[in-house]
């Protein structure tokens, strides 16, 4: 029970962040569709929507030329020669193991060679398995180099005799995403027939702005980081979308939907989708459609799941941000699964068939929107990158993540039958044991980043598959600290980390929580019942957590079943920066939207210098306030800018700004991995 509660907290907060990312990007898309080309808001973000230019080789060489970059004799990192060899990539692995850095010239050269190879690869890689060459399949790595090195140590390096499939999400979250890419691309160049890379939803430059890869590259390669990132945008768009083993096992990063058609996926021009978050050639709809949607304010919310084109109602925003594998708090367990799904779809304003477009919302050439073929191809790609399985039959938009769908066992059976397949292998979701079967063992999730949420939170795993196509699993923990802990110590450590993250969420929503609590306190006594506390907390945070189970860890004391909510807020043990700012509401807005704010900063920082001017700082806040539909005064913004401009040079360092306003949990500084599970923060 303690592990499950911990897992629900981590997963709920993770999916809430993904949903916020999609909503922010949908808002940017709204600006592009509805604002005039000359508007300042549109100009701030227009560059992230540019099409993937097709370059001839000569133009490419000029744009990404590495030959003018000299490698000094004092360079301590590895020196590469091209064409790449097994020896060269092995030396690269050893260098990264010892924390050496590859020179920018070699990085650009390796990426350029990778781009040339990827352009000639099909959308779906077809491979065969034989007894002497079992295939190894790895899931998400998310920048955790220690996991990749451990896989190579246990299983061996890729070679003609040891083929690998890496199933996307190589980057973001971890600190060594670029090193992982360079290693995988190196082996791909040496063994193009034996190393296969599928694209994941994080191989997307828009997602990278939020989850760390952009910051990582710019931090490691200040002079050439912008060029490296631009080259990687193109490479990501050319990564294959799927792998099929012996015409029987389909491997995709996210999953499928009831509309999945491998024939369509095989024919799509995948490089058009630099970001899968927006269909190609999507232009502004007619003014009539905007009026029908209720004007700009409602238009911003018109897309909940990326591939659904209906008009969800405002109530849809209150759906719990949890995987459908766990029953949300406050659910109706006595109703049938079908009734519950229909109820949720009606609540969300969706049609009963996933992907069905409501009357009047079809795109057509006269409206200037993308054609039906473009939208269908885009939807196919989003579904394979973003979707998740669910236990119930059916196919519904994935409001939890904001993109793709949830599909049920009936959809699995139909799609596998239609394509004469026997097994679907996917990744995309962290699993406690590193892997998990569902849908009558016809769907298998594999996740290779161990300790993903926290040390001890989960094992990593990879698959070895022979000609019988039966998967065999190898599990591991990359952290030595975790391997030395007992089970009780490990669970205690991870649950304390989860509770710290949850207390931060409660703290940044404190004003909204107090307002919700006061609705149950008409006499202003400062006391509410535990039932009302749990109900109000879920209504504000919308995380779908079992709050009554969590109450002993979050509420230190109650009197006759009543909670002193003002005292409870004060006891959350969160400290914030001590700055003289006239408007405290701007601080709370920033805490709630910390990741969104950093994403906008990095979009506006077009030269990737890490610095923005006061005017850009003001424009960032205006863009955020427009997204949130709140008013933030110029004076409050100016006060905030002056308070953080420590050297008074008129510019703001993005990293310093975000770090200065990071909340600190006081309880995080007591105890450590060695603390036992009997500590105060443990679940009952």
Dihedral sign for Cα atoms in the order 366, 370, 374, 376? negative
Using left for φ > 0, alpha for ψ between -120 and 50, and beta otherwise, residue 212 falls in left
Contact 449, 468 (CB under 8 A): no
Of 128, 448, 421, the residue nearest 260 (C-alpha): 421
In angstroms, the CA 216 to CA 220 distance is: 6
In angstroms, the CA 137 to CA 446 distance is: 8
Q: CA dihedral defined by 327, 202, 46, 636, rounded to 10 degrees?
A: 60
Secondary structure string (H, E, C) spanning 301-353? CCCCCCCCCCCCCHHHHHCCCCCCCCCCCCCCCCCCHHHHHHHHHHHHCCCCC
Q: Which two tokens stand for residue 523?
A: 């006499």
| Chain CA centroid to CA 305, Å | 14
User: Bridge partners of 441?
Assistant: none
* Percent helix, strand and coil across the chain, each to the nearest 5: 45, 10, 45
In angstroms, the CA 654 to CA 61 distance is: 32
Q: Which two tokens stand for residue 606?
A: 């077009």
Give me the residue label for tokens 């990582």.
216
In angstroms, the CA 160 to CA 507 distance is: 54
User: Bridge partners of 195?
Assistant: 164
In angstroms, the CA 521 to CA 533 distance is: 11
Strands 527-529 and 395-397: unpaired
How far is residue 535 from each of residues 12, 399, 517, 544, 546, measured CA to CA in Å?
A: 17, 21, 9, 11, 10
Quote the longest CA-to-CA distance of the chain.
Answer: 78
Give me the residue label for tokens 């000299």.
70
Active site members = 202
């Amino acid at each position: 029970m303690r592990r499950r509660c911990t897992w629900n907290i981590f997963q709920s907060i993770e999916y809430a962040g993904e949903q916020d990312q999609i909503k922010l990007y949908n808002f940017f898309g709204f600006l592009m569709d509805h604002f005039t080309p000359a508007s300042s808001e549109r100009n701030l973000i227009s560059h992230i929507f540019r099409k993937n230019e097709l370059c001839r080789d000569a133009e490419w060489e000029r744009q990404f030329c590495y030959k003018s970059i000299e490698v000094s004799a004092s360079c301590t990192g590895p020196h590469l020669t091209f064409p790449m060899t097994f020896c060269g990539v092995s030396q690269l692995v050893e260098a990264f193991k010892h924390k050496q850095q590859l020179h920018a010239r070699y990085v650009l050269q390796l990426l350029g060679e990778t781009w040339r190879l990827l352009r000639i690869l099909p959308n779906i890689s077809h491979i065969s398995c034989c007894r002497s060459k079992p295939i190894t399949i790895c899931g998400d790595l998310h920048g955790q180099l220690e996991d990749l090195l451990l896989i190579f140590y246990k299983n061996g390096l890729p070679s003609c005799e040891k083929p690998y499939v890496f199933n996307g999400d190589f980057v973001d979250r971890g600190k060594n995403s670029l090193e992982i890419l360079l290693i995988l691309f190196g082996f791909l160049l040496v063994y193009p027939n034996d190393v296969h890379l599928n694209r994941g939803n994080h191989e997307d430059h828009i997602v990278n702005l939020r989850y760390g890869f952009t910051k990582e590259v710019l931090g490691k390669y200040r002079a050439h980081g912008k060029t490296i990132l631009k080259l990687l945008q193109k490479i990501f768009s050319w990564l294959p979308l799927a792998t099929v083993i012996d015409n029987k096992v389909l491997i995709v990063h996210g999953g499928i939907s009831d509309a999945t058609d491998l024939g369509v996926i095989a024919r799509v021009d995948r490089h058009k989708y630099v970001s899968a978050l927006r269909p190609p050639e999507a232009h502004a709809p007619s003014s009539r459609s905007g009026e029908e949607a209720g004007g700009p304010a409602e238009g911003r919310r018109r897309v909940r799941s990326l591939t659904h084109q209906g008009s969800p109602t405002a109530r849809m925003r209150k759906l719990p941000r949890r995987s459908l594998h766990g029953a949300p708090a406050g659910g109706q367990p006595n109703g049938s699964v079908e009734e519950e799904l229909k109820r949720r779809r009606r609540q969300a304003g969706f049609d009963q068939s996933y992907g069905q477009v409501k009357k009047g919302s079809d795109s057509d050439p006269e409206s200037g929107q993308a054609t039906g073929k473009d939208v269908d191809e885009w939807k196919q790609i989003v579904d394979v990158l973003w979707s998740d399985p669910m236990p119930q039959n059916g196919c519904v938009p994935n409001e939890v993540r904001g993109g793709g769908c949830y599909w049920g066992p009936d959809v699995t059976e139909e799609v596998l039958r239609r394509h004469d397949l026997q097994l679907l292998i996917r990744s995309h979701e962290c699993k406690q044991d590193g892997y998990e079967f569902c849908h009558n063992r016809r769907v298998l999730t594999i996740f290779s980043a161990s300790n993903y949420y926290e040390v001890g939170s989960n094992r990593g795993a990879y698959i070895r598959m022979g000609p019988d196509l039966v998967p065999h699993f190898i599990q591991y923990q990359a952290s030595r600290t975790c391997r030395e802990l007992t089970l009780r110590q490990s669970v205690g450590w991870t649950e304390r980390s989860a509770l710290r993250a949850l207390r931060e969420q409660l703290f940044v929503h404190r004003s909204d929580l107090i307002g919700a609590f006061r609705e149950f306190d008409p006499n202003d006594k400062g006391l509410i019942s535990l039932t009302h506390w749990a109900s109000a907390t879920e209504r504000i945070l919308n995380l779908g957590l079992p709050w009554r189970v969590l109450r002993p860890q979050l509420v230190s004391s109650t009197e006759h079943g009543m909670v002193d909510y003002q005292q409870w807020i004060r006891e959350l043990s969160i400290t914030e920066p001590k700055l003289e700012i006239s408007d405290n509401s701007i601080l709370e807005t920033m805490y709630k939207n910390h990741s969104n704010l950093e994403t906008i900063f990095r979009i506006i920082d077009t030269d990737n210098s890490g610095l923005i001017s006061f005017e850009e700082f003001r424009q960032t806040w205006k863009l955020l306030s427009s997204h949130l539909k709140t008013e933030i005064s110029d004076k409050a913004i100016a006060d905030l800018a002056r308070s953080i401009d420590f050297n008074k040079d008129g510019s703001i360092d993005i990293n310093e700004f975000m770090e200065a306003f990071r909340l600190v949990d006081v309880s995080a500084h007591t105890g450590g991995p060695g603390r036992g599970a009997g500590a105060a923060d443990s679940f009952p």
